């Protein structure tokens, strides 16, 4: 049987569910013993650095690889307008 323990410096795969990173994966490095309960990932949204928070919901160990499912936490993330609600913002910051 495999060892399910994660130690500082070990790599694991984060699998993101829901939110803007839905379906994407990331290789993360443990900063302490165990996986992170919550992670923040960043993306540019309309030119602004935006933080999205994901919470660990499930961990599995297959062969020598640990994978962690992270689910989007919209209440802990920066607010972002839905795409259909953004409207035409071209020229919004133009100065005359």
Task: Measure Cα distances from 93 to 50, 57, 80 in Å.
Answer: 19, 40, 18
In this predicted structure, the answer to whether residue 2 has a pLDDT above a threshold of 50 is: no
Identify which has the larger pLDDT, 13 or 83.
13
Residues ≥6 apart with Cβ < 8 Å to 43: 20, 21, 49, 50, 52
- State the pairing for strand pair 48-62/65-72: antiparallel
Identify which has the larger pLDDT, 90 or 22.
22
The verdict on residue 85 lying in a domain is: no
The verdict on residue 15 lying in a domain is: yes
Q: 23: domain range?
A: 11-77
Nearest partner of 6 among 52, 59, 48, 42, judged by Cα: 59
Q: How many domains does the chain have?
A: 1
Q: Tens digits of per-residue pLDDT, 14-67?
A: 999 999 899 999 999 998 888 999 999 998 887 888 999 999 999 998 888 999
The verdict on residue 53 lying in a domain is: yes
The verdict on residue 63 lying in a domain is: yes
The verdict on residue 89 lying in a domain is: no
The verdict on residue 1 lying in a domain is: no
pTM given for the model: 0.76
């Amino acid at each position: 049987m495999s060892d399910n323990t994660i130690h500082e410096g070990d790599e694991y795969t984060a699998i993101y569910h829901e939110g803007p990173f839905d379906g994407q994966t990331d290789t993360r490095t443990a900063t302490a013993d165990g996986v992170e309960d919550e992670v923040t990932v960043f993306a540019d949204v309309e030119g602004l650095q935006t933080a999205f928070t994901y919470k660990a919901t499930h961990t599995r160990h297959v062969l020598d690889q640990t994978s962690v499912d992270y689910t989007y936490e919209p209440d802990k993330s920066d607010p972002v307008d839905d795409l259909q609600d953004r409207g035409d913002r071209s020229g919004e910051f133009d100065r005359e």
